[in-house]
Amino acid sequence: MQRRSFVTASIATMGLSLTRHGLAAPVAAPAIGSLGAGQVGSTLGELWIRSGLHVMFSASTLSQPRALAASLGPLASAGTPEQAVAFADVILLAVPYGAIPHLAPRLAAAMAGKILLDATNPYGGRDGAVAALAERDGAGPTTQRYFPGARVVRGFNALSMSILRREAFRPSPRLAVPLAGDDVDAVATVETLVRRAGFDPVVTGGLDTAIRFQPGHPGFERQDDAAGLRAALSGRD
């Protein structure tokens, strides 16, 4: 009897672990680890905390994440990038795109199986050679190459944080946020995060379609509701 109870408990623990790491199904209330505590990390983190989610902020030094977490209450915490990745079901990539080649060797292995929400944008004048790759191949596939085990979803990169702060939870029709990803369950989890932040998600397709809403393309900086954004991205606006 004791052995049966042990086996049952072990199976239950395994199931919880698989669900926490996003391998079994969409996660309804994911823990979020933010790589970055600047405008992107703080804006999105605050919106998710307001909706009842736990967010750990991280940066290259702990002073900024600690100050931010202290200002946002008990659902916010601070840690190193490694701690944020270990904590999270969903990892928010909220750093300059040029930092990706430096972060990947430290963090890519720990991200295996987890959702990586890429809210970055490549700019050639700031981000160097990796930006040229992302502009040529698309930021989605480029980010995936650096974090091959992560379940990458592109999102929250198409609009400025000032617009997102102003328009969150506006009366219907809500502002639309475009998303793209290859993993169906990962995309579904991020759709939930978009709604919890006060917006409507518009999924464009796989990661290769994320180029449609990166800088220089029709969906970038497009302020519209879901119907209008879909039309713009399909060339029917």
Q: What is the pLDDT of residues 178-195, one digit of tens each?
A: 999 999 999 999 999 999
Asked if 203 and 229 touch (Cβ cutoff 8 Å), the reply is no
CA distance 166 to 159: 11
Asked if the model's pLDDT at residue 12 lies above 90, the reply is no
Asked if the model's pLDDT at residue 17 lies above 90, the reply is no
Q: What is the pLDDT of residues 27-70, one digit of tens each?
A: 889 999 999 999 999 999 999 999 999 999 999 999 999 999 99
Asked if the model's pLDDT at residue 14 lies above 60, the reply is no
Asked if 204 and 180 touch (Cβ cutoff 8 Å), the reply is yes
Domain boundaries, the chain: 26-233
Asked if the model's pLDDT at residue 24 lies above 90, the reply is no
Asked if the model's pLDDT at residue 3 lies above 70, the reply is no
In this structure, whether the domain defined by 26-233 belongs to CATH 3.90.650.10 is answered with no
Asked if the model's pLDDT at residue 5 lies above 90, the reply is no
Greatest Cα pair distance, the chain, in angstroms, is 66
Give residue 235's pLDDT. Answer: 67
* Model confidence, pTM: 0.89
Q: What is the pLDDT of residues 129-142, one digit of tens each?
A: 999 999 999 999 99
More confident residue, 172 or 18: 172
Instruction: Mention every residue, 6+ apart, whose C-beta is less than 8 A from residue 51.
Output: 196, 197
More confident residue, 6 or 141: 141
Give residue 49's pLDDT. Answer: 98
Q: What is the pLDDT of residues 68-122, one digit of tens each?
A: 999 999 999 999 999 999 999 999 999 999 999 999 999 999 999 999 999 999 9
More confident residue, 65 or 237: 65
Residue type, 220: F
Fill in the DSSP letter of residue 99.
G
Q: What is the pLDDT of residues 143-160, one digit of tens each?
A: 999 999 999 999 999 999
Give the number of C-alpha atoms closer than 13 A to the C-alpha of residue 180, restricted to the C-beta side: 24
Give residue 97's pLDDT. Answer: 98
Fill in the DSSP letter of residue 182.
S
Which position has the token pair 């579904």? 188
From the list 186, 180, 232, 230, the residue with the least C-alpha distance to 205 is 180
Q: What is the pLDDT of residues 203-229, one digit of tens each?
A: 999 999 999 999 999 999 999 999 999
More confident residue, 159 or 3: 159
Give the number of C-alpha atoms closer than 13 A to the C-alpha of residue 99, restricted to the C-beta side: 16
CA distance 162 to 166: 6
Element (H or E) spanning 132, and its range?
A: helix 129-137
